């Protein structure tokens, strides 16, 4: 029940009429004593006792619910932060790799070199198994090695039996005829 009353100034104090229903509720008779208790910001309690007794502050029964709700909010915020952070790292990594491929020509060269090494490895495996000695082209099998072309200044395509023979051939210590043996 809320009932409005007007304060009137009398001397150094303010006077307010106490409604009949409030006096009945407090059990106060004519000229009985009442006490004001300040309970919170902009709140006061009117009681017939000099010391406030009994009761609990309003909303005390909600503190357990509030604590549980706050804990759940913290858990969900933590999960959200972790999820956002992991997704952010994935996106940053993908963007970095794309930029690396686009702006770094060395990466493209490394990929091409890796592809060539894999191709050479496949050829060596085919040679060990007795397979063809090169990739089949549209014009047929690879041609036999020939003499050095003076116009292009290229070395002949000579099959090499071992790494030592290849090193010797590159350094020029042996001829292609001895490298084949």
Blockwise average pLDDT, block size 10, the chain, 181 residues: 84 88 85 84 84 70 85 90 84 84 76 90 85 53 49 48 58 50 46
Tens digit of each residue's pLDDT (9 = 90 or more) over 123-150 = 998 888 776 555 554 444 555 544 544 4
3-state secondary structure labels for all residues of the chain: CCCCCCCEEECCEEECCCCHHHHHHHCCCCCCCCEEEEEECCEEEEECCCCCCCCCCCCHHHHHHHHHHHHHHHHHHHHHHHHHHHHHHHHHHHHHHHHHHHHCHHHHHHHHHHHHHHHHHHHHHHHHCCCCCCCCECCECCCCCCCCECCCCECCCCCCCCHHHHHHHHHCCCCHHHHHC
**What are the φ and ψ backbone dihedral angles of 15, each rounded to 5 degrees?**
-120, 140
């Amino acid at each position: 029940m809320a009932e409005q009353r007007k304060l009137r100034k009398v001397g150094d104090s303010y006077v307010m009429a106490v409604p009949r229903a409030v006096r009945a509720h407090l059990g106060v008779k004519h000229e009985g004593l009442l006490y004001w208790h300040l309970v919170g910001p902009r709140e006061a309690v009117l009681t017939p006792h000099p010391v406030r007794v009994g009761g609990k502050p309003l909303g005390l029964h909600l503190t357990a619910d509030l604590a549980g709700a706050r804990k759940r909010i913290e858990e969900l915020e933590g999960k959200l932060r972790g999820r956002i952070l992991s997704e952010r790292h994935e996106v940053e990594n993908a963007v970095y790799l794309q930029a690396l491929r686009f702006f770094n020509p060395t990466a493209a060269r490394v990929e091409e070199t890796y592809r060539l090494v894999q191709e050479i490895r496949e050829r060596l495996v085919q040679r060990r198994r007795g397979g063809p000695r090169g990739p089949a082209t549209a014009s047929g099998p690879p041609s036999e090695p020939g003499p050095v072309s003076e116009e292009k200044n290229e070395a002949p395509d000579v099959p090499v039996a071992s790494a030592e023979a290849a090193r010797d051939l590159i350094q020029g210590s042996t001829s292609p005829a001895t490298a084949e043996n």
